[in-house]
Amino acid sequence: MKTLFYPRLAWDGIRKNKRMVFPYILTCICMISMFYILLFLSTPETAALLPRGGDTAMLILMLGSIVIAVFSLIFLFYTNSFLIRRRAAEFGLYNVLGMNKRNITRIISLETLISSVISIACGLLAGVILSKLAELGLVRMIGGTVTYAFRVDTKCMAITVIFYMAIFAVIWFASVIRVRRSSAVSLLQSEKAGEKAPKANWLLGLLGAAILGAAYYIAVSIDNPISAITWFFFAVIMVIIATYLLMIAGSVLLCRILQKNKKYYYDPRHFVSVSSMVYRMKRNGAGLASIAIIATMVLVMISSASCLWFGTRNMLATRFPGDINYTARFYKSKYFTPETIERFRQAAEDFNAQNGAETETVFDIAYIEMEGAADGNTLDFGDVSFSPSALSRLRSVNLIPLSVYNERTGQSVTLNEGEAIAFASGCTLDNDTLDLTCEGRTVSLRLVKSAEKEFYADEYLKQIAPQISLIIPDIRPFAEAFEDDREYGVGVMRYVWKYSFDIKQAGMGRSDYAKGVKEAMVGTTESDDEMLRAFSISTEDRERESVDFIAATGSLFFIGIVLSAVFILAAVLIIYYKQISEGYEDCKRFEVMRKVGMTGKEIRTSINSQLLVVFFIPLAFAGLHLAFAFPMIGKMLNLFGIFNTGLFMVTTLISFVVFAIFYAAVYKVTSNVYYNIVSDAK
């Protein structure tokens, strides 16, 4: 009998506190199952079912499992600290009744063991059952090979068990240390902590507002994707700090303002709720800030991941204008001639004729690429820096021969030596002259105004750095001034020919066709060894390359859904525990109010008044954070080739509306829990 005393006591502790413990165990089960599923999907066996690009999906899924692992450690530790605080009075009573700290430690150890075994066993069972469903969903989404063979990965199971046992060990150690360091009196009185009404801290509030304003300014003032990635982490940290400061200081201030509004405060619907909120708002503010941050994370993840997935088709069309796309780069200007390019073009047409293929050219342009730092009407190509501070000055310059411009536009424009037609994308050219310089060598151009629309700006590159296209009569002055002295290699200037076409009919696969055309182009230079070393041709097959893009965006979308589900679960648990803790704190107040004549209907109205004020503040903050983060996230999506701002706006709005509806449903359910607690006060 004595042997089973402590296990029975531990089980009774879990059973009698099921209102608090069971949601915690359910959360553990969900996180363990999600962790196993992501590990399962990142295995080589799953990658073998995916098309080319499976390695990319595996990497993204592995990173997702790491995110869940880190979040599990932080959140489960945070949740367990709440449970220990709620159970502290119970442990204090055990201590008063004669149990020493060692005996209490045995109870805590057995409770941790029971809850961890249940969580890991049920979590693995759920993970194993759902892993096949998740695999089928991922494979169908990306376009892989569907197989219905069921498998269990023992390695993933072992990793999951070891990792979460380690987490539960950390939780157990923290709980034991907390109880052992507390006296019986402090344990018994732990529930009364925070009964003193806090004062509104204006300094913290102003500091939070200043930090949040700075973070918002960074988010809306970013003008290129590289800067967005660089500053995103800092902006996120600033928003988190500012949210906590504003919630902690501002929530107390809000209660004080409501109390000073006599018409509002002395209304029976608001009096009890405001007077009870003011005593716990310092602690309440931290919880509300956590909910706001988690809600923002969910909205950012799901809206951006959805935009990536649904914008894949537009992304591919922008990145790959034709079915087959060639880029030839010449390292010396003497080989960058219309004759050489025509030879390559003719080789492609001859290959078509020999193989009975039919193609349609969709893109054909020759130009020179350069990057320079802008300073007034000067572009310095010898002072290019990709540091965050210098990105605002970076310009991507395309030098396009006049003959190419006339051929593409069907015009017969003429330019004198030293003149250029300029087209700016993402920047402005306010001067009539432009000086191009590199290490003391300068070429000056007089800009001729043109009524034509913007001419050739690479849609992908122009979102990274502003582009300037210069139509020039002759490339020789630039080659003489800026061409690199090395025999072969990439210098300041890069001579480029881009050629893309759609295949209407072909007697072979596209990949074989792309390879054959490339070999035909290279074959035209076999008699010139020097030229063979002076150029290179790269090939991009849209159908083949799209597999990698779909694998990346599909796995990101999948990860976004999984992580959003985990974070939403965390937010729900925080809200639920807030309702429980505040219900137990408020039950005596409502019992007194009921004795003096407050009806059940008035109690319900008062509760709704309190919860509407408290629990919709995080949703408002999340919406505000998302609105100001929109420009920065949009710039970051540009790096993936997403330039459809309208699509991103739609996915963001839909994500917010769906989340708000779900949040309202959670509020409704948990408010009933709160009402049941205060109604059963006696």
Question: Where in the sequence is the domain holding 614, given as residue range(s)?
Answer: 200-322+543-682
- pLDDT of amino acid 457: 62
Element (H, E) at 543: helix 542-595
Least Cα distance to 648 among 639, 635, 659, 658 occurs for: 635
Q: Are residues 408 and 304 in the same domain?
A: no
Residue pointed to by tokens 């050489």: 340
Per-residue buried b or exposed e for 230-248, using 16+ beta carbons within 10 Å of the residue's own CB = ebbeebbebbbbbbbbbbb
Cβ proximity of 306 and 655 under 8 Å? yes
Domain boundary residue, one of 527, 542, 557: 542
- pLDDT of the residue at 450: 64
329-351 pLDDT, tens digit per residue, is 887 777 888 888 888 888 888 88
pTM of the model: 0.72
CA gap 396, 494 in Å, rounded: 12
Query: Is 243 in the same domain as 339?
Result: no
Q: Does one domain contain both 511 and 557?
A: no
- Find the radius of gyration of the CA atoms of the chain: 33
pLDDT at 489: 41
Burial class (CB in 10 A: 0-12, 13-18, 19+), 484: middle
- Six-digit token string for 617: 């503040």
Q: Are residues 172 and 226 in the same domain?
A: no
Q: Are residues 356 and 463 in the same domain?
A: yes
Q: Give dist(CA 255, CA 232) in Å, integer.
A: 33
Question: Looking at the structure, do residues 471 and 568 belong to the same domain, yes or no?
Answer: no
Q: Where are the beta strands (DSSP E) in 439-568?
A: 441-448, 467-472, 494-505, 535-541
Cα 324 → chain centroid: 32
**Is residue 353 helix, strand or coil?**
helix
Q: Which of 492, 518, 271 is nearest to 397 (CA)?
A: 492
Question: Do 315 and 353 reside in the same domain of the chain?
Answer: no
Other Cβ atoms closer than 10 A to 184:
16
CB 470 within 8 A of CB 424: no
For the chain, the domain total comes to: 3
Q: Which two tokens stand for residue 40?
A: 């399962």
Pair (19, 98) in one structural domain: yes
Question: What pLDDT is recorded for position 272?
Answer: 59
Last residue of a domain, one of 156, 171, 193: 193
Q: Mean pLDDT of residues grouped by 10 in the chain (682 residues)?
A: 69 77 84 87 78 65 80 78 72 68 79 88 90 81 71 89 92 81 59 49 79 88 72 82 79 66 62 59 68 86 86 79 84 81 86 78 83 81 62 79 82 85 78 82 81 62 71 81 56 80 74 80 73 76 78 78 80 77 70 67 68 76 90 81 83 91 83 73 46
587 with 624, same domain? yes
Is the same domain home to 260 and 243?
yes
Amino acid 490: pLDDT: 45
Distance CA 655, CA 299 (A): 6
At 613 the pLDDT is: 66
> How confident is the model over 90-115, as pLDDT tens digits?
776 666 666 777 777 788 888 888 88
Convert the pLDDT of each residue in 487-532 to its tens digit. Answer: 444 456 788 888 888 887 766 677 777 788 888 888 877 666 666 6
Domain end call among 542, 572, 589: 542
What is the rounded CA–CA span in Å between residue 679 and residue 681? 5
Identify the sign of the CA torsion 113, 118, 119, 125. positive
Contact call for residues 514 and 539 (beta carbons, < 8 A): yes
Question: Given this model, what pLDDT does residue 163 score?
Answer: 92
Considering the domain architecture, whether residues 238 and 108 belong to the same structural domain is answered as: no
Residues 586 and 498 in one domain: no
| Distance between CA atoms of residues 424 and 403, nearest Å | 20
